[in-house]
Structure 1
Amino acid sequence: MAGEPRDSGGLYAFIINGMLAMFPGSKGKSMLSAEVTVVKPSRRREERLPADIRARYGASGNPERALCRIIDVSKHGARLEVYCDLPLATSITLKLPNSEALGARVVWSKDFEAGCRFNEPLSDDELEFIFRKGNA
């Protein structure tokens, strides 16, 4: 919310969403209108690449039989579309087509989506392969 402007030696100061903003002015002769957008920083440690890959996973040491779709991926994790509930902290094995199985742990789950963190980060080559396959 904007506060009352204060004349500060030719500068007008406003408090906008808890931040100080200063603008030049000349004793009420000029008018200023501004729109401020607050962007929340991402909680992710790295950007995720979009993907659309059908995959399989197995939970708690079971074979990779359940179907899922990888929605996006980074070196350290992926967001999955799943067809059943995956409880937090569940250990899964994610099997991509023509790829080795990846160990991961579920870090969030909501409305048929789950985020998992890989036990070992993907190499640049593995990440590029997954990205190309998902955007082919």
Structure 2
Amino acid sequence: MDLDIIKIASDTTNNKILKDYTHRSKYKNKTCGDIIEMRVNIKKNIIQDIGYQTKSCVYCQASASLISHKLIKKSKNKINYLLKNLIDYFENEIKPLPKNLNKFNKLFNKKNISRKNCVLMPLIAIKKLSINE
């Protein structure tokens, strides 16, 4: 396992129970049983705060850490764009990630394709938040 992934996962700034939230989702990986719960506080279509909790492997934890930092102070449109770019890139690697997503290259690459379900869990949980409603 890459030490960079462990370092990313060790940033637990947003690994917290968010008590004041407007949207919540929970996702369970059907393959391994890992679980992630995401809570966000959205005001005026902007994510003000985010918290996540996992019972998961280090790949899911690293992905949750990265995505949670990227989502704060972002609008719903930017979030959808971000999620689409990350998912498309990881599934297809057709185009390079935008420069502002370079940190994701350590996790979203062919070397970790066998852990695809783990890496994508936080993104799926974010999509399940139904923040566009």
User: Rg: which structure is higher?
Assistant: 1
Flag the structure with more relative contact order, 1 or 2, with Cα contacts below 8 A and sequence separation at least 6.
2
Structure with the bigger percentage of helix: 2
**Per the shorter chain, which TM-score range?**
under 0.3
TM-score scaled by length of structure 2: 0.23
